[in-house]
Structure 1
């Protein structure tokens, strides 16, 4: 089956809530993703297979040259097939098109190989305050 990727794709909030819950191991929420994304995001990438949402990535930005990846998720039964890397590649292309100069991501240690090896991110020094 063919996976297609869509920048700023039209999606159903319920479908994204289910995918997000599966990917981040929490109960499905009632998040109004459409409103959140329209307000805060440069864009987002949807991965589709046979009309089903199987992957998602959010790109927020500072309104200038910095873009940030959040909420990268691929359906459990579709992982390890390059879908996540294709989501990131699409996000990088679209952020570059929007004249962003930097694409940032933070992640948990178990995703290190994915972001550095599969997606081409470089290690940097960064800081974080848990709020």
Structure 2
């Protein structure tokens, strides 16, 4: 099956909510994704297969040189097929086109091979405060 990737494509709150819930293991919470993305994002990438949303990544930014990946998710039945890496590649390409100089991501240890090996991120030191 062919998977297509769309930068700043139309987002259906129900479809994205279901994908996010499935990918992160929680019930759909009714998030108004469209409004959130339009207010806070440089853009986003959606992956589609036969009319079904099978992947998503949000590219937030500071309005300048820094972009940040959030909510990278791939439908369970599409994992290990390169969908996530292609989502990140399109996000990086579009952030570069918007004159961003840096693309940041933070992740849990089990995702280290994905982000560092499959996507080409370099390991850095960072800090985090749980709020």
Task: State the TM-score bracket (shorter-chain normalisation).
Answer: over 0.9
Q: 1: CA distance between counterparts of 2:18 and 2:54?
A: 10
- The reply on whether 1:102 has 2:102 as its aligned counterpart is yes
Task: Indicate the residue corresponding to 1:86 in structure 2.
Answer: 86
**Matched residue SS, 1:10:** coil
Distance in 2 (CA, whole Å) between partners of 1:13 and 1:53 is: 11
Q: Mind listing any 5+ residue stretches in structure 2 that lack a counterpart? A: none
Match of 2:130 in 1: 130
- 1:52-104 C-alpha deviation (Å, 9 max, x unpaired): 10000000000000000000000001000000000000000000000000000
Aligned to 1:113: 113
Q: How many angstroms apart in 1 are the aligned matches of 2:13 and 2:125?
A: 35
Unaligned runs of 5+ residues in structure 1 are none
Task: Name the structure 2 match of 1:10.
Answer: 10
Match of 2:74 in 1: 74
Q: Which residue of 2 aligns with 1:25?
A: 25
Cα distance between partner residues in 2 of 1:129 and 1:117: 26
Q: What is the number of equivalent residue pairs in this alignment?
A: 131
Counterpart-to-counterpart distance in 2, 1:102 and 1:50: 33
RMSD: 0.4
| 1:11 Cα offset (Å) | 2.1
Give the deviation of 1:29 after TM superposition: 1.0
Distance in 1 separating the partners of 2:127 and 2:38: 28
Q: TM-score, normalised by structure 2?
A: 0.99
CA distance in 2, matches of 1:16, 1:55: 9
